[in-house]
Structure 1
Amino acid sequence: MKTPEIRPLTGEALGAALDDLARLRITVFRDFPYLYDGSLDFERAYLATYQDTPDAILVGAFDGTKLVGAATGTPLEAHAEEFAEPIARAGFAPGEVFYCAESVLLADYRGHGAGHAFFDAREAHARALGRSRSTFCAVIRAPDHPLRPPGYSPLDPFWRKRGYAPLPGILAEFRWTDVDDAEQTAKQLQFWVKDL
């Protein structure tokens, strides 16, 4: 598989890519550890904030004109309150923090540097906005979760290599329906942070 082309999108270009991002989120987040059983209607409502936030960014990974991966980010105060409140509780001013939201990439395109490119572009965007910290959340799943695939390796070493560290005890809670459930349940997500 060829290396995807990485392009940052803002404004109207970002808005035009949101339906493709919604489909990617549904596909990629269906796998462990998110196990997300998503719908386009939910995704469109959730992703509307990016279109409504002038300082939002979508970093797209493209194979020709096809969006095969994406990473998003916004100023923290523009994202869901479930994410801003724990960061404020940790002693960080939300106005200092840039929130790196999803990073999704189709499996065939992994291993070609897109993950680093996603973080590089979002961190550069955050610095240009005058933000001094970057953060993201990762879902917490039990090591013995029944849907954990054999040989699964968490991304913690990659994130640490990028300079991120978990904030002990600082968690967000978000609800979604797992692939093996009939209704939404609460999930805890661990915050990771980096000084820019």
Structure 2
Amino acid sequence: MEALELKAEARQTTGKGLGQLRRQGYVPAVVYGKGVEADPIQVEAKELRKVLAQAGTHQLIALQIGSKRPRMTLARDIQIDAIKRSVLHVDFYAVNMREKVTAHVPLVFVGISPAVKDLNGILVHGLSEVEIECLPADLVSAIEVNVEGLTELDSMLTVADLTVPSSITILSDPESMVAKVEPPRLEEALEEEAPVSAEPEVLTGAKEKKEEEEE
């Protein structure tokens, strides 16, 4: 998978000055890694959003800091403003291309399950991503999950059923459910679950007269 390019600058601003830096359109960040001294940097917020939207935390980012040689990194800790949803800070992990890394990769569901199409089953997704381990150059943007093999109700796919290149090891629990076709909900079951409203008592003329005589 080809690395995405991102330009950055060395950062001198720290502490209380970070607020002003963000108002100027930059996001403070840091580059760290095994045997690498942490390097504070700043990145244009607009360009950073574009790259992170595509790379997430599982695609290589070629980080160009000033005139230095690009460094292959992975975005790790991404801090997001809870209200504005803007990026506040990013930790970039400098990878060694000869050493394996771990990453969470999204699952993409493809195909149509015959159990859904012909038996009115309901397709339920158990996972949206899995954790993998591989060399940085072998990272993938997503793992496809083909549900066309789910031909019966209650049939399912687990992590062990996922197909990935031999260079990738899936670390997630192999027994975890990825997708399952559940039986359709019958109308009778829905009627039983529906709450029964209590009807108000209606007094007939005879009953009203009897109650008046008792009084």
TM-score band, normalised by the shorter chain?
A: under 0.3
> Max radius of gyration: which structure?
2
Q: Which has the higher contact order (CA 8 A, sep 6+)?
A: 1
Alignment TM-score, normalising by the size of structure 2: 0.22
Alignment TM-score, normalising by the size of structure 1: 0.23
More helix per residue: 1
